[in-house]
Every structure is written in structure tokens, then in C-alpha cells.
Amino acid sequence: MTTATADAPEATIRALTEGDELAPGYHVLAHLRRGDTMDVYDVWSEARACRCVAKVLRPDRLADRDDRRSLLREGRLLKRLAHLHIVRAYEVVVEPLPGVILETLTGATLSYLIEESCRRMDLADVALLGIQLCSAMHYLHGQGYLHLDLKPSNIVVCQGLAKVIDLSIARRPGRGPKGVGTRVYMAPEQARGGILGPAADVWGIGATLYEAATGEPPFAYLEGRRYDQLERRADPMRAHRRVPAAFAAVMDACLDPDPARRPAVCELAGELEAFA
């Protein structure tokens, strides 16, 4: 249950319940989760006669123009995209709650699969996952955008099919704001607020596959303004799992501190083909 605060009375932040109308033509089936700024709902679409997922601004965040702008920008970008390995957006709604209507994805997040599995992911499955992520990023980069938040919790997997979700911080290449992203997974140039290009997403792919293969992320969370990836290189993959030297070499290259030394997305996909 959400705790009320003096600034946000409980009535203003209570989640919608089953049967409530989220937007015209969309009725709530269940409240799935609440984040810092967003609520996610399972909804029924009257027009499509099917279930969808609605990602909407929390009622207590309606006055935050930056949160509203970010969500609507994400929705409009997703509506323009059409790729097998990127979640599809059906509609952007503005009232009463700004939000995005998304396809319902079956399966589980990669982070859940890693945490709950009693054994590490088969190497061929890791390679296949990497190829699918490379495919998604190749397309996204071709549309002029970087994802910048690739991590296991932003990938949903169902029967071997991976889909990238959450493009909330996607942006065009160029100098980026310092430290925007997920601390453990962001590339060093993200942490510094440097120039961002496709290599930043190659780092995200590498960090994700490293965790899928070893069960542990390559870097730790540090308190304050410190970033583990700015203080050291990742441990070689073979320090945590016995894998073929060629596979370890390409994974380690993805996590090179120098963006220019990381493989290009298509090059990485080609290297992974041998192990899928």
C-alpha cells in the first residue's frame, strides 16, 4: 500500500482499480506496478478487443513537466518504431493521465530469469540473446536514436524471443547529461557526461550478456558520486565462468573503457553467430 505524505495526500496517489476507466476505451484489469514516476496497468482495449499494457504518469507527478514530456516523447518514439525485438506502442494518450498504450508481452524479464534460475544460462542462449539485442539496436541506431538503458530488467524474454522495453531515456547521439541511466550498467562516457554514440549501447549489450552468462553484473553499485566502471575495468569473463576464449574476448571487448575499441553492433552480431 502507498504511504501518504504531507505533500501528496493518499487520495491523490492511490492507484486505479479494476473497472476504472484509465482513458477513453481503456479499462483497468489490474495495477501491475508503481515506479518513482509511473504506474503500469493491465488494461482492456475496447477498440482492439484485447489486453494491453498502459504506462501512465502517477497522479502525484502530473505537475512535473519533465516527467510528462519524457513519457510522451517515449511513446511517440515507440509508435514510430516497428521491430521484432522492440516493444510496440499502439497509442499515446494525454488525458486524464498522460501515458502510452503498449502491447502485452508474455514471458519474464531477463533479470527475473537470471535471479530465479538454479543454473547459468546456456552459452548458445546467451549468444542468441545477444544477436537479438544487436538486431534491435542496429534498427534503433538507424532511426537516429540510442537506447542508453540496456539491462536485464529492460528485456522481456518469452520462448527464446527477446524484446527491449523502456525507451524513457533514449536520445540522439551527442553529448549526454552526466550520470543519466542505470548506475551499474551505464557506459563510462554516460557516467562522465561525455559524447554518446552507438558504442554506449554496445556496452549495454555486453553488460547484459556478461550478467546472463555469469549470473553477476560486471560492476558494483557504489554510494555517492562514485561509479565502479570509472575506477576499474570489468573482471575478465573467464574469471567467473569457463567459456570459449573467443566468446570471452568479444564480451570483454564490449566492456572496453574506450568506446572506439568496442566492436560495432553488426560486428558483435557476427561474432556471436558462431556460438548461437
CATH 1.10.510.10 domain span(s) along the chain: 108-273
Rg (CA), the chain: 19
Alpha-carbon gap, residue 213 to 231, rounded angstroms: 23
pLDDT 10s digits, 126-143: 999 999 999 999 999 999
- Fold of the domain spanning 10-102: Phosphorylase Kinase; domain 1 (3.30.200)
Q: How far is CA 167 from CA 43, 113, 248, in A?
A: 21, 21, 29
Grid coordinates given for 167 = 525507451
Alpha-carbon gap, residue 136 to 44, rounded angstroms: 28
User: Does position 33 have pLDDT exceeding 50, yes or no?
Assistant: yes
Report the candidate in 123, 112, 92, 196 with the shortest Cα–Cα distance to residue 154.
112
Alpha-carbon gap, residue 75 to 124, rounded angstroms: 33
Burial 183-210 (b: 16+ CB within 10 A, else e): bbbbbbbbbeeeebbbbbbbbbbbbbbb
What is the mean predicted confidence (pLDDT) over 179-191? 94
What is the mean predicted confidence (pLDDT) over 13-26? 92
Report the candidate in 128, 135, 138, 133 with the shortest Cα–Cα distance to residue 151.
133
pLDDT 10s digits, 207-254: 999 999 999 999 999 988 899 999 999 999 999 999 999 999 999 999
Alpha-carbon gap, residue 4 to 276, rounded angstroms: 50
Q: What is the mean pLDDT of the chain?
A: 93
pLDDT 10s digits, 69-121: 999 999 999 999 999 999 999 999 998 889 999 999 999 999 999 999 888 99
User: Does position 10 have pLDDT exceeding 70, yes or no?
Assistant: no
- Fold of the domain spanning 108-273: Transferase(Phosphotransferase); domain 1 (1.10.510)
List helix spans (H) across the chain. 10-13, 65-80, 110-116, 123-142, 188-192, 198-214, 228-231, 245-254, 265-273
CATH 3.30.200.20 domain span(s) along the chain: 10-102
pLDDT 10s digits, 250-271: 999 999 999 999 999 999 999 9
Measured on CA atoms in the order 246, 138, 76, 63, is the torsion positive or negative? positive
Q: Which helix (H) or strand (E) holds 9?
A: none
Alpha-carbon gap, residue 247 to 243, rounded angstroms: 7
Q: Which residues are bridge partners to 155 per DSSP?
A: 164
